[in-house]
Amino acid sequence: MKILVTGGAGFIGSALIRYLMQGTAHHVLNLDKLTYAGNLESLRSVATDTRYEFVQADIADQPSMVALLARFEPDAIMHLAAETHVDRSIDGPAAFIQTNVVGTYSLLEATRAYWQALPVERRDAFRFHHISTDEVYGDLHGADDLFTETTPYAPSSPYSASKAASDHLVRAWHRTYGLPVVLSNCSNNYGPFHFPEKLIPLVILNALAGKPLPVYGDGLQVRDWLYVEDHARALFKVVSEGRVGETYNIGGHNEQKNIDVVRGICALLDERVAERPAGIENFASLITFVKDRPGHDQRYAIDASKIERELGWRPAETFESGLRKTVLWYLNNLDWCRHVQDGSYQGQRLGLDHSQLLA
């Protein structure tokens, strides 16, 4: 197949592209606007592959999307391009509405025109896969409750509300126009190449620098953690085998309190790091509780039985094995981290061989 991946320079998108390039024979076009979270250094391992192409463009630019689809002629679109950070959405929601809502609308309209013009056989085989989040469901209150594919939406933040809106648009384009879509909603991802503003890489890098490890509120918020390479496998299952019009929840079967995640990272760093910042006997001593985030959801947990039952997917990593792999990756790739922290990765965006601008 020829697969168009939007947001392919982001954390999950780059993991998906690495999986597609290394584990399948498909051709991939990576479309990314290259905002602050887009990092082409995460794709150096596939950059010279002849089956891979990168284009810098904005999904909200509908004429450019029309032109790109006409040129690349994809058999599937995997739509990950989104603004994703809750704190940033609280401080500046406009970008989230523009990318997640307006951008998804523009991409859907360009896709609809492209799909309707395909020959019948290709039109029937085409898929639009919309990748979303479990945060659209709000939070859970019962200790044993789980999000299912039919859980009512109750988003709490501008980020999750914008993603909920994009989910509704995709379903509407399926019902109204017949566009063959599949959707997936995932739990918290973690793993290599995660942008350092997120919890796990932030804790690792702050600890190594001897800085405070900020934990919101009492740290008892519960999240289900999904190793990003497990997620990439699941996404390919959904786009290639999922039933049209269906939603698949993807979770890691790994519920953890935030404070326990932070303590687990500290224990692994205590084990692996011999040279510590001055005065630090153990990294857990750096844990600092800070004022809670406005509207902070207390618990997320996913019932991922549908994707296991219908598509045969289960996560390969436990939280313990995945967290260990993640910590070791960061310890072994501090140059990648430094390029993000000092901003130099942004200067290299258009200097890579696989980079081009879409006019």
Radius of gyration for the alpha carbons in the chain, expressed in angstroms and rounded: 20
Residue ranges of the alpha helices (H) in 73-155? 86-91, 94-96, 104-116, 120-125
C-alpha–C-alpha distance, residues 310 and 307, integer Å: 5
3 state SS of 181: strand
* Residue listed under structure tokens 């406009």: 94
Strands 188-190 and 76-79 turn out to be: unpaired
C-alpha torsion 154→158→161→166, nearest 10: -170
CB count, 10 Å around CB of 166? Answer: 26
3 state SS of 222: strand
Helix 319-332 crosses helix 334-341 at what angle (to 10 degrees)?
70
Indicate the residue type of 346. Q
Which residues have a catalytic role annotated?
A: 134-135, 159
Local structure of residue 292 (DSSP, 8 states): P
Q: Residue 132 forms beta bridges with which residues? A: 185
User: C-alpha angle with apex 131: 302 to 297, nearest 5 degrees?
Assistant: 45
- By the 10 Å C-beta count (0-12 exposed, 13-18 middle, 19+ buried), 93 is classed as middle
Tokens of 115: 């799909």
C-alpha–C-alpha distance, residues 58 and 229, integer Å: 26
C-alpha–C-alpha distance, residues 89 and 97, integer Å: 9
